[in-house]
Structures are given as structure tokens and as C-alpha cells.
């Protein structure tokens, strides 16, 4: 590990000032991702800004018709909050699909949004990687890419965003609240994470001198017909190969509004609004779901080891929509797939 200085500011304004005053500074919250990356010499901050004691960021509060989850709320606290469980069970389920109980106790909402890719080459400073060292190359395209992206890739990077929570937040159309030197702003989930393009080193549209204050969930609509289906190599404690957050409004067998987001397939949670529109007014049925899955996977490209993900994702979408329509969400404790 490299040498770094450390500050624990007492206000959001001070935290923002600390970031602005140190160009190579990093925020630290639960530390479950950042500290690992520092030990691997992947992240080399010269200054750490510990946000752990900032006031007002540990609460889950009513926000209009919705709910605001502070950046420092642990994944455990968010998943087991009665209001989240009752009004946004999709989010609760997605969080519980991730990591382990011990990690979820330490991991925070803000840190989960900004956790970095699990691409093997990114974690190994002995290899080139455009995300770690822009311009050095992307060995994953011809190398070990089993866990990597099939949608929205670029010639520069085929990494995936690993979060489960973010997939549900994308489907629920949450908004990320952030603060910087010019005050506060809101970033819709759809715009928060980026595709790699020719700047794979930039995971999100958050500026280096901004901190996350929390996420706001809109009015709850999908508490009855939802599922978070996560497919992975082991039944627990593994990142998604493919995951699907599906949320439907149902009137009998007829679908009203629909939201679908995929994890494990792209550099950001993957949403295709035209595919969601294909469900509106339709009877819930496997043929319709198959057409929707085709549309979502339109343009998918494998890189060898991960070719299997295209068909896996297609089948996962159909399965997730069937579970959501039936009102039989995937259990994160009993991981048999219904």
C-alpha cells in the first residue's frame, strides 16, 4: 500500500472542499472495495476523505411520494428497512442477492453505486488495462472474458458493472443526489453509469470533486409483481453472470407499465425502453416475453468465453418476466429457480 493522508470532515461542505483541494483524493465509506483496490495497488489515492461521520447521510426518509436512502445507509439497513421491503421489495431482494451478510453490514449505498468492475485484468497491475492505465490496451477481449460484457462494449473495454443494487435502482428509475463545489444536483440512474466508449477509465458521470448524498426512489408502483433473478457460478457470495430486475403493473393477466434492467451484461445496468413498451397492454405470455428478450439482446456480442451469456440472458429475461407476472419473485434465501 502507498502512503496517503487522511481526513474525516464533519460536514458535506468540508468533505467537498477536501476533495477539491487534493486532486488525487478518494472518498472512503465502508472500504469494502476501495481498501482491496489500494492493497492491489490499483487505486493509489494520496488523500482519503472518510465520509463515515457526515451528518444526515445515514437515514432513510420519506421524500414526497417516494423514499430517500442516504449514502451511508448500509446495504443491510436498506434491505431490511420495513418501508423498503414493503414498497420496493425489488430493491431489497437485489441487495440481498449481493455479497455476504458481513459485507452488506459494512457496504454503503454510495459505495455500492461506485464499486469498480471485477474484470481480472483490472485487478492485476502487472497486465495492461485501459480502465486502469488509459491507452495500455484491453487483454480481456482475447483473454479471460467469461464474466465480461456482451452489450454496449467498445474496442477499448468490455468490463461489466458488478452491482446488484444498481440493477434494481435502474429498473425503479431512482435518482442519485450528489453535492459538489457548485451545490447539489440530481442524476437519474440511467445517466449515472457510463458505457466505456473511448474513456473506459471513467465509470460514471460523477465529478471527482462530488460526493454522493443518497438515492431517491419515486412513488412505489411495482411492489406486487417483481423479481430479481441472479444467475451465477455459486449459489451465494458470487457476482452475477447475468441478472434481471423485472417489475410489472398487472391488471389480471394484462400488463400495464413494465421495467426491466439487466446486470452482468454491460458497463452499466442495461435498460431498453422500447422493449418495455412492447409489454404495455399485452397479455402476460411466454411468446411476448421471448420477443421482449430478443429486443433487449439485440446487438449482443460475445468475445469467446462469454458467448454463452447471450442465450443465458435471453432465457433469464423470459424467466424473470414469468416470475414477475405470476407474483412469485425469486427468493434470495432459497436459491432454487422457479
Ligand X SMILES: Cc1cc2nc3c(=O)[nH]c(=O)nc-3n(C[C@H](O)[C@H](O)[C@H](O)COP(=O)(O)OP(=O)(O)OC[C@H]3O[C@@H](n4cnc5c(N)ncnc54)[C@H](O)[C@@H]3O)c2cc1C
* Residues near ligand SF4 (CB under 6 A): 117, 119, 121-122, 129-131, 138-140, 148, 157-159, 200
Give the count of residues interacting with ligand X (CB under 6 A). Answer: 29
d(CA 203, CA 195): 8
Task: Name which of 14 and 201 has its Cβ closer to ligand SF4.
Answer: 201
Task: Name which of 140 and 296 has its Cβ closer to ligand SF4.
Answer: 140
d(CA 94, CA 168): 6
Q: Which residue has the cell 477499448?
A: 156
The dihedral sign for the CA sequence 47, 48, 54, 56: positive
- Give per-residue burial for 220-252: e unless 16+ CB within 10 Å, then b: bbbeebbbbbbbbeeeeeebbbbbbbbbbbbee
Tell me how far CA of residue 276 lies from CA of 31, 222, 313, in angstroms.
Answer: 36, 14, 16
DSSP-derived 3-state class of residue 130: coil
Q: Using an 8 Å Cβ cutoff, are 224 and 324 in contact?
A: no
Q: Which of ligand X, ligand SF4, none lies near 131, with the C-beta cut-off 5 to 8 A by kind?
A: ligand SF4
Among the listed residues 242, 244, 213, the one whose alpha carbon sits nearest the alpha carbon of residue 227: 244
| Rounded least distance, CB 138 to ligand SF4, Å | 3
Among 92, 93, 108, 332, binds ligand X (CB under 6 A): 108
DSSP-derived 3-state class of residue 61: strand
Say whether residue 112 binds ligand X (CB under 6 A).
yes
Options 32-40, 183-191, 251-259, 294-302: segment touching ligand X (CB under 6 A): 32-40
What residues numbered 144-163 form the site for ligand X, per CB under 6 A? Answer: 162-163
Among the listed residues 248, 261, 265, 260, the one whose alpha carbon sits nearest the alpha carbon of residue 313: 265
d(CA 231, CA 253): 27
Binding mask 40-79 for ligand X (x = CB under 6 A): -----------x-------------------x--------
Among 96, 150, 151, 212, binds ligand X (CB under 6 A): 212
Task: Name which of 192 and 289 has its Cβ closer to ligand X.
Answer: 192
Q: Which of ligand X, ligand SF4, none lies near 302, with the C-beta cut-off 5 to 8 A by kind?
A: none
| Rounded least distance, CB 335 to ligand SF4, Å | 28
Task: Name which of 114 and 129 has its Cβ closer to ligand SF4.
Answer: 129
Task: Name which of 129 and 213 has its Cβ closer to ligand SF4.
Answer: 129
Options 28-36, 119-127, 278-286, 322-330: segment touching ligand X (CB under 6 A): 28-36
Amino acid at each position: 500500500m502507498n502512503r496517503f493522508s487522511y481526513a474525516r470532515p464533519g460536514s458535506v461542505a468540508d468533505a467537498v472542499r477536501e476533495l477539491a483541494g487534493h486532486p488525487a483524493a478518494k472518498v472512503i465509506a465502508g472500504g469494502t472495495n476501495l481498501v482491496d483496490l489500494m492493497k492491489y495497488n490499483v487505486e493509489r489515492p494520496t488523500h482519503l476523505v472518510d465520509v463515515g461521520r457526515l451528518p444526515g447521510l445515514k437515514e432513510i426518509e420519506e421524500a414526497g411520494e417516494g423514499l430517500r436512502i442516504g449514502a451511508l445507509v448500509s446495504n443491510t439497513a436498506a434491505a431490511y428497512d420495513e418501508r423498503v421491503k414493503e414498497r420496493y421489495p425489488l430493491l431489497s431482494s437485489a441487495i440481498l442477492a449481493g455479497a455476504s451478510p458481513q459485507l452488506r453490514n459494512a457496504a454503503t449505498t454510495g459505495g455500492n453505486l461506485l464499486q469498480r468492475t471485477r474484470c481480472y485484468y483490472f485487478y492485476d497491475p502487472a497486465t495492461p488495462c485501459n480502465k486502469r492505465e488509459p491507452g495500455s490496451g484491453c487483454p480481456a477481449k482475447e483473454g479471460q472474458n467469461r464474466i465480461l460484457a456482451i452489450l454496449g462494449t467498445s474496442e477499448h473495454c468490455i468490463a461489466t458493472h458488478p452491482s446488484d443494487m444498481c440493477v434494481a435502482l435502474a429498473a425503479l428509475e431512482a435518482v442519485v443526489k450528489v453535492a459538489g463545489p457548485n451545490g447539489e444536483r440530481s442524476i437519474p440512474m440511467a445517466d449515472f453509469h457510463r458505457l466505456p466508449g473511448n474513456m473506459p477509465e471513467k465509470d460514471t458521470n460523477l465529478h471527482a470533486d462530488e460526493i454522493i448524498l443518497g438515492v431517491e426512489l419515486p412513488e412505489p408502483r411495482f411492489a406486487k409483481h417483481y423479481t430479481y433473478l441472479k444467475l451465477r457460478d455459486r449459489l451465494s457470495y458470487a457476482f452475477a453472470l447475468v441478472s434481471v430486475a423485472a417489475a410489472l403493473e398487472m391488471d389480471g393477466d394484462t400488463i400495464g407499465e413494465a421495467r426491466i434492467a439487466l446486470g452482468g451484461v454491460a458497463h452499466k445496468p442495461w435498460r431498453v425502453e422500447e422493449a418495455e413498451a412492447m409489454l404495455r397492454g399485452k397479455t402476460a405470455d411466454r411468446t411476448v416475453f421471448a420477443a421482449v428478450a430478443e429486443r433487449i439482446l439485440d446487438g449482443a456480442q460475445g468475445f469467446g468465453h462469454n458467448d454463452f451469456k447471450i442465450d443465458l440472458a435471453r432465457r433469464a429475461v423470459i424467466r424473470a418476466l414469468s416470475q414477475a407476472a405470476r407474483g412469485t419473485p425469486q427468493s434470495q434465501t432459497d436459491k432454487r429457480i422457479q
